[in-house]
């Protein structure tokens, strides 16, 4: 039997038809044979952090189960970005679609092209707020604190940009019986 790992992915878009890009990412994850989308956070609109001269982002977090290895999951994320016109010109610059692996079970990974937990997740309200919507009591495998505790400290920080929840309709959501 193949072991399924619980993973959390951060999705972001700030170019073009942002909702469409987010939906395309979710659809691609749902269509993958080795990924099961378990839950999606609300969708948030957030001001750009880091490189600020760019449009506002849409951000969300997806909880998935997967039988893929961390490297294979990264490959799939990068493939979905590529299929959706992602280019890399400016560090932390605008993008049609960004998919980052935040957590992969309780594993701590330090490889040249892959660091998990995502090294900047805990300083980013646009990641922690939607992650906390899905998994407040999850323990961060490095800081050994709950996502709720880590989110409260980022929320309380001065200068943290607000995350505004926005309405959308998930076109590919499975129909509940
Ligand atoms: N946990 C991770 N999830 C996704 N990519 C990662 C991760 N750890 C390392 N990387 C590497 O980061 C590289 C750069 O990714 P990308 O250009 O999307 O960064 P970014 O989203 O602009 O910045 P940030 O990593 O700060 O969110 C990728 O090529 C990938 O190999
Ligand atoms: N609000 C917001 N700001 C960002 C984002 C993002 O997804 N949302 N991603 C970045 C690079 O990963 C840099 N800055």
Active site residue 120: no
Q: Is residue 153 part of a domain?
A: no
Mutate-to-test residue for ligand 2 from 21, 50, 100, highest number of ligand atoms within 8 A of CB: 50
Q: Is residue 105 part of a domain?
A: yes
Q: Is residue 36 part of a domain?
A: yes
Q: How far apart are CA 22 and CA 29, in angstroms?
A: 11
Average pLDDT, the chain: 93
What is the number of structural domains in the chain? 1
ipTM: 0.97
pLDDT in tens, 104-144: 999 999 999 999 999 999 999 999 999 999 999 999 999 99
Of 134, 98, 129, 104, nearest in space to 116 by CA? 104
pLDDT in tens, 25-44: 999 999 999 999 999 999 99
**Residue 160 scores a pLDDT above 80:** no
Q: Is residue 131 part of a domain?
A: no
Q: Is residue 129 part of a domain?
A: no
pLDDT in tens, 64-108: 999 999 999 999 999 999 999 877 777 777 789 999 999 999 999
pLDDT of residue 90: 75
Task: Name which residue leads in pLDDT, 162 or 24.
Answer: 24
pLDDT of residue 1: 66
Q: Is residue 139 part of a domain?
A: no
Task: Name which residue leads in pLDDT, 94 or 19.
Answer: 19
Cα of 177 vs centre of ligand 2, distance in Å, is 36
Residue 177 — very low, low, confident or very high, per pLDDT cuts 50/70/90?
Answer: low
Domain that holds residue 165: 5-120+160-176
Ligand nearest to the CA of 118: 1
CATH number of 166's domain = 3.30.70.560
């Amino acid at each position: 039997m193949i072991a399924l790992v619980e993973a959390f992915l951060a999705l972001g878009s700030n170019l073009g038809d942002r909702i469409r890009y987010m939906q395309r990412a979710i659809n691609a994850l749902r269509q993958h044979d080795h990924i099961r989308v378990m839950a999606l956070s609300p969708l948030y609109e957030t001001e750009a952090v880091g490189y600020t001269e760019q449009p506002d982002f849409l951000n969300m977090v997806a909880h998935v189960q997967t039988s893929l290895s961390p490297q294979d999951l990264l490959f799939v994320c990068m493939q979905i970005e590529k299929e959706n016109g992602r280019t890399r010109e400016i560090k932390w610059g605008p993008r049609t679609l960004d998919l980052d692996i935040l957590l992969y079970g309780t594993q701590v990974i330090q490889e040249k092209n892959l660091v998990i937990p995502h090294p900047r997740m805990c300083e980013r309200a646009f990641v922690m707020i939607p992650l906390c919507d899905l998994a407040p009591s999850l323990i961060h495998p490095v800081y050994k604190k709950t996502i709720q505790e880590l989110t409260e400290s980022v929320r309380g920080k001065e200068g943290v940009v607000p995350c505004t929840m926005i309405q959308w309709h998930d076109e590919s959501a499975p129909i509940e019986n």
